[in-house]
Chains A and B, each alone.
Chain A
Amino acid sequence: MYDLNKTYVMTGVVVRVDPNPNHLQIFFAPLNDARTQVLRDNKNEPVVWALEMEPAAVVARDRITVNNFPRGTILSVGLHPLRNGLPAGGRGKNGLFKCPADTPPTPGKHCDSVKGSTSHGHGVLSKPTGPVPPPKTK
Chain B
Amino acid sequence: MGRRIFKVLRFALTAACFVATSCATQQSNVAQQSSVGRGAPDPLQVDVIVGSEGKGMFTGAGVPPDNMPIFAARDGATPPGVEPLPTDIFSTKDFYKDRSLWSDNRYYRCNSPVGLEQIWGAYEVPLIGDDPPRTAAWGFCDRDYPRKEIVSPYAFSTAKDHYAALLKEARDRGGPTVYTQATLPNWSGRYLRQRAKTATWFHGAALQVPTYISLLTPEYQKRFVQQMYHYSGSNAAQWPGSYCWPEGFMRRFAQYGGARVNLVMTPELILDIRNAAKTLTTQIHIGREFNEEGVVPRLGPDVPQWFGETIGFWDGEALITWTSNIQGWISHGGFEFSNKLQSIEIYTPRKDAGGRLIGLKTEVVLYDPEAFVEPLRIVQNLDRLTDVTEPFPIMECIPQSFPVDGHTTPMSPGQTFQYTVPDIFGRPWAQIWERHHEKGMARPKEPRNRFGL
| Residues in chain A within 8 A of chain B (CB atoms) | 13, 15-19, 21, 29, 31, 37-38, 46, 56-57, 60-61, 63, 65-68, 71-72, 102
Contact = CB atoms under 8 A, between A and B. Distances in A.
Interface in B403-453: 423-426, 449-453
B64 interface: no
A38 B302 contact: no
A38 B449 CA distance: 11
B315 to A, nearest CB: 32
A135 to B, nearest CB: 16
Interface in B301-320: 301-304
Nearest to B303: A56
A67 B295 contact: yes
Which DSSP category, helix, strand, loop or mixed, fits chain B's interface?
loop
Nearest to B300: A57
B421 to A, nearest CB: 10
Nearest to B301: A60
B294 interface: yes
B244 to A, nearest CB: 15
30 contacts: A13-B453, A16-B423, A17-B425, A18-B425, A19-B425, A21-B303, A29-B451, A31-B451, A37-B451, A38-B451, A38-B452, A38-B453, A46-B451, A46-B452, A56-B301, A56-B303, A57-B303, A60-B301, A60-B303, A61-B301, A63-B302, A65-B303, A66-B302, A66-B304, A66-B339, A67-B295, A68-B302, A71-B449, A71-B453, A102-B450
A102 B424 CA distance: 25
Contact of B453 (A19, A63, A67, A72): A72
A46 B452 CA distance: 9
Contacts of A57: 300-301, 303
Contacts of B302: 60, 63, 65-68
A57 B302 CA distance: 7
Contacts, number: 54
A13 B453 CA distance: 9
Nearest to B306: A21
Contacts of A65: 301-303
Contacts of B425: 16-19, 66
Contact of A13 (B301, B304, B424, B451): B451
B453 A15 contact: yes
B453 A29 contact: yes
A71 B295 CA distance: 16
A21 B425 CA distance: 14
Contacts of B451: 13, 29, 31, 37-38, 46, 72
A48 to B, nearest CB: 9
Nearest to A27: B423
B449 A13 contact: yes
Contacts of A15: 453
A19 B74 CA distance: 47
Given A56-B301, A66-B425, 4 more contacts: A16-B425, A37-B451, A37-B452, A65-B301
Nearest to A64: B302
A13 B451 CA distance: 8
| Nearest 3 interchain pairs by C-beta | A60-B301, A72-B449, A65-B302
B293 to A, nearest CB: 11
Contacts of B304: 19, 66
A56 B298 CA distance: 15
Contacts of A102: 449-450
Contacts of B423: 16
Interface string B232-250: 0000000000000000000
A124 B453 CA distance: 28
Contacts of B450: 102
Contacts of A29: 451, 453
A56 B300 CA distance: 11
A38 B453 CA distance: 9
Contacts of B426: 16
A19 B303 CA distance: 7
Contacts of A19: 303-304, 425
A122 to B, nearest CB: 18
A18 B303 contact: no
Nearest to B423: A16
Interface string B207-250: 00000000000000000000000000000000000000000000
A24 B423 CA distance: 14
Contacts of A71: 449, 453
A56 B304 CA distance: 10
